[in-house]
Amino acid sequence: MSEVVDRQLVLGLGGTVDYELRWDSAVFDRLAFAHRVRRHELTASAPIVDERSLLVAVLALVAAGTGAERFVASSEVVEAFSSHFEYAVTLGGTGVRAGLVLDSLGIPSVQHLVSIDDNVRRLLPPGVSFVSSATEDTLDPHLIVQYPVGAHVRLMDADILSPSANRLIFANDPPNREMRLAPALGEALATASVFLVSGFNTMQDQDLLARRLDELQQAMRALPADALVYYEDAGFYTRAFSETVRAQLLPSIDVYGMNEDELQEYVGRTVDLLDPADVVRALHEIHAIIPVPALVVHTRYWALAVGRDAAGHRAALESAVRVAATRYRLGDGFTAADAAETDAMDRHRGGAALVAAVEGAVADVAGVPAFSLDVETPTTIGLGDTFVGGFLAAHAQDGEQP
């Protein structure tokens, strides 16, 4: 009689310790005047080497209402900037946040970590186990700036006002840049039902990236044939590295996810997310670049999957949108009961119309509308990671892969 082996969700590749700033316009006003920041100086593309250049980047992105992830010259810059604000210490990284979501829904997971310290040991719940490549404790915090719609900051010669709520990430994280793989990863993958791959966006050495991808592919040979491999895109510090990752991993990827900012960066233009023709065009363009069985795009209005396996992920899209909306309205610490309550709330009408039109126009598309929530203090940090957790939860609960 053969032994029954429990299947597990393995999530990687690197976790982070995050400093989540509490938005305070008065502090930003003070810093903008202390550094004599003027409107024409606002840019998010210049190197971030000190407190002033970090401030300028934050203000530029807030003024545009966009989300972003940027490299900072040192962790000391992050520490110095954070010292002006109240902030919460939390755990981040797509795999870790997805694992926390799964834990809140009663689903255990195994994390692959590249760094460890007492914050990680204290904040990881018992339902989340881990393997780690770290050989010593280190702390290189990621600065998370969550700003609300209408965030107002006074500069020397003008005011800025955010047109929408969003989140920004700034970091210099050597362990995540090196992305060492734990020797135990292959053993963990041998009994995996799901493997989440993310985190290569922080790497900055082309040769090292190629080496890590070779090592990852070697470890992935241990995966059972029916395991679902989900890859979540992110803001690459060196954009060309995204092509390197895709060139090596695409044949192994079942689901490839990204948000609206990443979609627009790939297609090289702004996409009207409520215009069916524009979205259909963007989906064709992005699927030509990333021809996977299911390409998932998640936005504030809708989530769509395109590809031959798209229809098999409809329940996962529903779960993902529901869980992300629950985090948006409640923040950390929500439960499965909270997510069930979200399910009864209104959907975004424009998103629903968009999904219906796109499904009617394209054969291999499945989508669900996002929720329309009026929340005074929404949580915008980690919504994409939460979406991933909700998506994987549906597959874990079904116990079947499409």
Q: Please give the pLDDT value at position 401.
A: 39
When pLDDT is cut at 50, 70 and 90, the band that residue 67 belongs to is confident
Q: Please give the pLDDT value at position 1.
A: 39
Cβ-contact 296, 254 below 8 angstroms = no
CA distance 187 to 306: 32
Domain ranges of the chain: 8-15+93-135+175-398, 17-91+138-172
Task: Report the candidate in 71, 76, 68 with the shortest Cα–Cα distance to residue 47.
Answer: 71
Q: Please give the pLDDT value at position 7.
A: 80
Does residue 250 sit in helix, strand or coil?
Answer: helix
When pLDDT is cut at 50, 70 and 90, the band that residue 351 belongs to is very high
Q: Structure tokens of 378?
A: 């929404």
For residue range 375-388, list pLDDT tens digits in order.
Answer: 888 887 888 999 99
**Whether residue 402 has pLDDT greater than 80:** no
Q: Do domains 8-15+93-135+175-398 and 17-91+138-172 have the same CATH topology?
A: no
For residue range 185-202, list pLDDT tens digits in order.
Answer: 999 999 999 999 999 988
Looking at domain 8-15+93-135+175-398, which CATH architecture does it have?
A: 3-Layer(aba) Sandwich (3.40)
Regarding beta strands 302-306 and 128-132, do their DSSP bridges make them parallel or antiparallel, or are they unpaired?
unpaired
For residue range 76-119, list pLDDT tens digits in order.
Answer: 999 999 999 999 999 999 999 999 999 999 999 999 999 999 99
Q: Please give the pLDDT value at position 381.
A: 81
Q: Helical H runs in 171-292?
A: 174-178, 185-189, 206-220, 240-249, 260-267, 276-289
**Whether residue 232 has pLDDT greater than 90:** yes
Q: What is the mean pLDDT of residues 386-395?
A: 95
The number of C-alpha atoms within 13 Å of 17 and in the hemisphere containing its C-beta is: 21
Please give the CATH number for the structural domain made up of 17-91+138-172: 3.30.1110.20
Cβ-contact 85, 72 below 8 angstroms = no
**Whether residue 304 has pLDDT greater than 70:** yes
Radius of gyration of the chain (CA): 20
**Whether residue 2 has pLDDT greater than 50:** no
How high is the mean pLDDT of the chain? 93
What residue type is assigned to position 290 of the chain? I
For residue range 108-122, list pLDDT tens digits in order.
Answer: 999 999 999 999 999
When pLDDT is cut at 50, 70 and 90, the band that residue 398 belongs to is low
For residue range 160-174, list pLDDT tens digits in order.
Answer: 999 998 889 999 999
**Whether residue 374 has pLDDT greater than 80:** yes
In degrees and rounded to multiples of 5, residue 199 shows phi and psi of: 110, -10
Q: Structure tokens of 173?
A: 């994280």
